[in-house]
Structure 1
Amino acid sequence: MTKEENEKRLERLKQIVGSMPEKPGSYQFYDKDGTIIYVGKAKRLKSRVSSYFHSEVDRYKTKVLVSKIENLTYTVVNTEEDALLLENSLIKKYNPKYNVLLKDGKTYPSICITNEYFPRIFKTRQINKKWGTYFGPYSHVPSMYAVLDLIKDLYHPRTCQQPLKMDEIERGKYKVCLDYHIKKCGGPCIGKQSHEDYIKNINQAKEILKGNTRGILRQMREEMMALAEDLKFEEAEAIKKKYELILGFCAKSEVVSHTIDNVDVMSITNDGATAFINYIHVSNGCINQSFTFEYKKKLEETDEELLSLGIAEMRERFKSHSKEIILPMALDIELEGVTITVPQRGDKKTLLDLSIMNGKQYKFDRLKQKEKLNPEQKSVRLMTELQQLLKLPRLPYQIECFDNSNISGTNAVAACVVFKKMKPSKNDYRKYNIKSVVGPDDYASMKEVVRRRYERLRDENERMPDLIITDGGKGQMEVVREVIEDELKLNIPIAGLAKDSRHRTNELLYGFPAVTIGIKTDSELFHVLTRIQDEVHRFAITFHRDKRSKAALHSELDDIKGIGPKTKETLLKLFKSVKNIREASLEELGKAVGESKAKLIMEYFENKKVVNS
């Protein structure tokens, strides 16, 4: 599209926007093929849609959307709530490219009460509203089984799949199954349980599934007392058993407050590209529904925009008529007869915190599932997290860490470990013998090793690390910085891992002057960083031990040119020690190893006497 064509397109669209009313409604954007690519809602249509065409729009993805719009239409409604519901239904119908993608959790089971003459109650993952009434879905499956077991124990709904009809029951067409004989069914198929009594039980089961256990208990108590007054103690005892079953079920439920009734709670947890909206319904002071929606973001939608969509989805899916919705933030929407509450303390704040906790747990579980399928995703996540935490210029793909090891300055060594994608790259590990430092000077040793490492990488035009981590605090960071920035003129970020008084790593340092970075010590990222630190320490210690072992096994005979391992072994076997070899005569040595080697040995020790005298 040429610049002129684009300007004409925008002018045409702005003319359409100019004629739009300032009323609630939904708007639809179309591409050049006439396909709906975006559906939105607005309290004032003209103001909202015109904002897309302002020159100061700074969202990149929104600019991309606007560049694809060829036409737009709108639908005016009476209230903002109607606009919200219309937007939700249009998104589901057309699945526009630039709208958030709702992963609706169809894999979660629901409980169905069929529309049959004698209804059945069972769990299902298939939703067909022609079959019956559905309750759920249940994201916590054990809770679903608990309520199903309660209903089976209380009301003994039939489990057979026979299409029971009254005329066929009267003709004796059906026979009872095992459930009748073990008293798990009242036998409606042979007329042992009346249709009226069966439906009464089903209606009570529906109230339990709605969470209205208080009403059921009150009704049972009144019926029980009436039967007792009429001296019908056996019937009253049967109701008492059911009453106690429901009481036991309620005791195991999540009771939040006896003062809160018929309230919806929603919270949002963000993951950059994905948002997780948790929904909790509270009835009679108990949580009877909890579900988390997953939204794939397309246009960098705000939390407020996503929560508005979530409210519409919740009210439709769960047939919610709650008069109060508890949210973590205020929304610029008005729902008729509904109060939006943002609690700061008390029972409602406790409920909101519980919803937030559920959303975060769902996000964590989904993340773990994805990382099991794609292990690389975990590495990218941790690298991104570290980049954002330290505000690094690029993803820390390659991280290098240094450590020194010596005993009172002897056998001084250093080690460098390399991690790529947050995993050890052992082929790139390097060991260093300290050459220029005398005595135990960790700072000078660190300078030497860092200088040797990065001078070589620079001279050989090799890849530089994205981050250097020092096994120490501000002092170690500063000496590394002096070499990297002041001497070698390189630009490599430097971090440090500092230890507490118990020699346990407890903080991450970054910057100059170094400051403590806020990171939880029990977080996954901090564990990876301490693993890098532990690995360089292990590698340096292992190298130091190897060097000490070789030094301990070293003999003066190893310094004599022309004397190999076999000759050394023969001499030590015969003379027992280097002292005895030093004091032996030329003739004695000649008999042991030959005249030429004996002369080499004699010359070595004589020269050494001259040097030491």
Structure 2
Amino acid sequence: MFKTQQDFDLSSFLKNLTPYPGVYRMYDGEGNLLYVGKAKNLHKRVNSYFNRGAKDLKTQTLAAQVNFIDITVTPSDYEAFLLESALIKKHKPKYNILFKDDKSYPYLYLSDHVFPRLSGFRGKPRKNGQYFGPYVSLVSMKETLTLLQKLFVVRQCEDSYFNNRSRPCLQYQIKRCSAPCVGKISEEAYQLQVDLLARFVSGKLSGILQEVSTKMHQASENEYFEEAARLRDQLILLTKLQQQQFVDKINDRSFHVIGLLGLETKACITVLQVTQGKVTDDKSWIVNVNNNTESELLEAFLAHYYLDEHRTIWPKEIILPKGHKVANSLLQSVEQRADSKIRWLIDAGADNAKWQKLAMINAKQKLQINLQSMSQFTTRFLALAKWLNKDNIHRIECFDISHYQGEATVASCVVFDRGGSMKSAYRRYNIQNITPGDDYAAIAQVLERRIESGIEAQNLPDVIVIDGGKGQLKKAQQVLHAYKQEHNIQLISLGKGVERISGKEDIFLGFDDQPHHLPEHDLSFLLLRQIRDAAHDFAIKGQRKKIAKRQNESVLESIPGVGRKRCQALLRHFGGWQELVRASVEEIAKVKGISHKLADEIWHAFR
């Protein structure tokens, strides 16, 4: 249980703290995790926060809030780096430098199956199996996936599709799959392909050619001529690839280049992936500086990116930004994680200097674009605040209602702050128990749900924008009045206006029946229309998904003998609508409780 100030003696804790390496976690009086840090010497590092002397504002603010400190001693700096990285990603402490887009990293994934499936994957790895990556971008992962599909005959289909095949699919015909689903390859031979693929992706090509050649001759001697021919074709492709790689190594090398630039309150870190002398991919992160030095940002990034627990692909060389010091313990930890020596270049000369310059140019361009975009939003927010005669506006939310002929009603909520759209805060609401087509009731329902949750979470917006006229606005006013928020939240609605074109809308303010008009290019008007359009697009996408699902459900449940339970059984068996629609009569009949006659009716219903 979390300790309070009454039973935690900070001075005694600091005095008796261990000098071993480890990770420390700082909490406030409410039990919220403020900061996670690592240390070679926990005693020196943690005490430094509370010693007298000059400290930056961030450290002073953090130390003033600390109510309790917890530590974890680790065997070495390496384990401390790994644990710190994992804790930051899991808990997202307020005062840590966060690179929040882990889930966007693409991987290759080999499933944990008797006949493993090879596929692309984005997100946090959760399923059992082998992961290869992360790749710098989705494009590079897909290119690698395409190459592997040509080299190794490993299946790419979903398990639900694989489990219900009665004959080979097109992938087998074009030699992109060995059709394990119908017994065209033995488990042993398939596992060989999986092992070869895993070694190939990990960069261990040297022994693969000899192994394939040996297996090919064994198959020929045993008169498995079809298998021998397939291995021969594979050997030819691998040989050509190795020859190409040999030529490329002579001409140039492959490596990562990191660029770093800080301007104002933001910093940009860019990674360029250089393959055979050409930039094949790049990725960038924009982070808040928060009084951290650029070297501290660089170290935080290296720990985040290269100490990822699922990383399996490593560059042989990494060119770091010029003029920045990086702790040797961190570099050693990355090499230990990679289980190989990495060439680190900081004071690069000649040819490497041009790559450093290119990475810096990329970082500068992306940071300037981000700051310009932020500046535009800040200017528009200030213009809107001035027009509304408000001191400040930090958060705007816009709601829109979408339905299809009165059915499948969906409400969307988009969120913007001074930095732009906050897509992680976007929400869709399924509207229920209203008269079909009643947009007024839909607005009332979604605002009730939003304000109730906002009061509890203490994250209510300063401004709520509604796509609609006086009717929707009055319903919204009633909701705000019921929750006593009429003085805290400014209501705005955008009506279509007489001409019903963008730029000529009627603007209605909450608790004011008079329409207002602004010039088409007024900054505050541009902001309101941009937010309204985002809400409209978000609602339409959600409503279309709902309609597609309902149409499929309607088709299936209209068949005599198919009720809710059988519908769910079919979807569970095939893993979704897409595979069910594709399935043959024989495959559908394999589902428990589905006769051959009923399967035939289901198959014809989708045709």
TM-score by length of 2: 0.49
Q: Which has the larger radius of gyration?
A: 1
